[in-house]
């Protein structure tokens, strides 16, 4: 009985077809980790695929091998070299306006005498000076990457940080503080993918800022998708800050505004 069961198991596990020869395919532009997940659903039961360096090792039927090679001809292409340009623009503006007025009227002097201006100088006088000013700054930086690989673009600055250290001996305690410059970064990761002349970029901002405890820094990040065309500026976001002030009195009124508008742009170009 035991011999019969072993024979049945052997027949079940024996393939009904001969082993296919091992095919070695040289990849031209992609890595095995990139193409194997795409090719695996197209394999039949009993087929095998693996990879190392820039080679694929494949066992499949001749018919399926022909389909695999046709699929590789479409996906095994070198990734595009891309140039990512980031432009930061800042516009500052200020506006001030002041209005004052005076009314001329007869004034009673001594001995019931009236003191008044000549007729041609009488009336209401208005004074309304205005002042407008503004400037615009723009800074552009660029970095190269390849399609499907993230690029990090950072804007850094240094802040003075005081670090404390405590010494404890047998009979006394001592505290020591030291001031040093610590660099913090604010930027974002950009992961571009190109389809024809259309580009999709996954943006992952990264911001470091001083924490509540001296010497500690908090980290904040998020993620979003933006789309656009190759060679065109894509607006990522911006910030606006403004301040308004008003003053008034019996014979005057003053108003002033000032602020700034910051905008961040991204452009993806293909390096040919």
What would the pLDDT profile of 236-251 be if each residue is shown by its tens digit?
877 777 777 777 766 6
Q: How far apart are CA 221 and CA 251, in angstroms?
A: 53
Mean pLDDT of the chain: 74
Q: How far apart are CA 235 and CA 136, in angstroms?
A: 17
What would the pLDDT profile of 175-230 be if each residue is shown by its tens digit?
666 666 665 566 788 899 888 889 999 988 766 555 555 555 555 556 788 999 99
Mean pLDDT computed over 108-136: 55
Inform me whether the pLDDT recorded for 72 exceeds 50. yes
Q: How far apart are CA 79 and CA 146, in angstroms?
A: 6
What pLDDT is recorded for position 181? 60
Q: From 201, 209, 219, select the one nearest 264 (Cα to Cα).
A: 201
| Residues 6+ positions from 120 with CB-CB distance below 8 Å | none
pTM of the model: 0.53
Q: How far apart are CA 145 and CA 127, in angstroms?
A: 60
Task: For domain 82-99+130-157+184-270, give the CATH number.
Answer: 2.40.160
Q: From 176, 181, 167, select the one nearest 215 (Cα to Cα).
A: 181
Q: What are the residue boundaries of the structural domains of the chain, listed by start?
A: 2-75, 82-99+130-157+184-270
CATH number of 2-75, picked from 3.40.50.9100, 3.40.50.150, 3.30.1370.120, 3.30.390.50: 3.30.1370.120
State the distance between the two ends of the chain, measured CA to CA, in whole angstroms.
72
Is there a shared CATH topology between the 2-75 domain and the 82-99+130-157+184-270 domain? no
Q: How far apart are CA 23 and CA 50, in angstroms?
A: 11
pLDDT band at 18 (very low <50, low <70, confident <90, very high): very low
């Amino acid at each position: 009985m035991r011999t019969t069961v072993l024979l049945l198991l052997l027949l079940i596990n024996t393939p009904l077809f001969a082993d296919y020869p091992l095919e070695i395919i040289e990849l031209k532009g992609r890595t095995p980790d990139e193409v194997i997940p795409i090719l695996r659903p197209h394999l039949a039961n009993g087929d095998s695929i693996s990879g190392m360096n820039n080679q694929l090792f494949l066992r499949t039927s001749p018919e399926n091998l022909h389909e695999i090679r046709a699929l590789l001809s479409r996906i095994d292409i070198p990734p595009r070299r891309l140039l990512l340009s980031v432009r930061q623009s800042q516009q500052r503006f200020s506006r001030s306006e002041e209005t004052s007025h005076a009314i001329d009227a007869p004034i009673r002097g001594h001995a019931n005498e009236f003191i008044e201006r000549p007729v041609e100088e009488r009336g209401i006088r208005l004074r309304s000076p205005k002042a407008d000013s503004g400037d615009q700054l723009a800074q552009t930086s660029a970095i190269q990457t390849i399609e499907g690989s993230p690029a990090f673009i950072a804007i850094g600055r240094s802040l003075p940080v005081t670090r404390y250290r405590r010494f404890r001996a047998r009979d006394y305690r001592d505290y020591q503080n030291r001031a040093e410059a610590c660099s913090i970064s604010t930027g974002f990761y950009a992961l571009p993918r190109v389809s024809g002349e259309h580009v999709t970029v996954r943006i992952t901002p990264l911001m470091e800022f001083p924490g509540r405890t001296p010497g500690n820094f908090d980290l904040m990040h998020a993620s979003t998708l933006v789309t656009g065309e190759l060679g065109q500026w894509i607006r990522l976001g911006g910030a606006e800050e403004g301040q308004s002030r008003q003053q008034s009195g019996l014979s005057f009124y003053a108003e002033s505004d000032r602020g700034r508008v910051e905008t961040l742009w991204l452009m993806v170009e293909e390096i040919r």
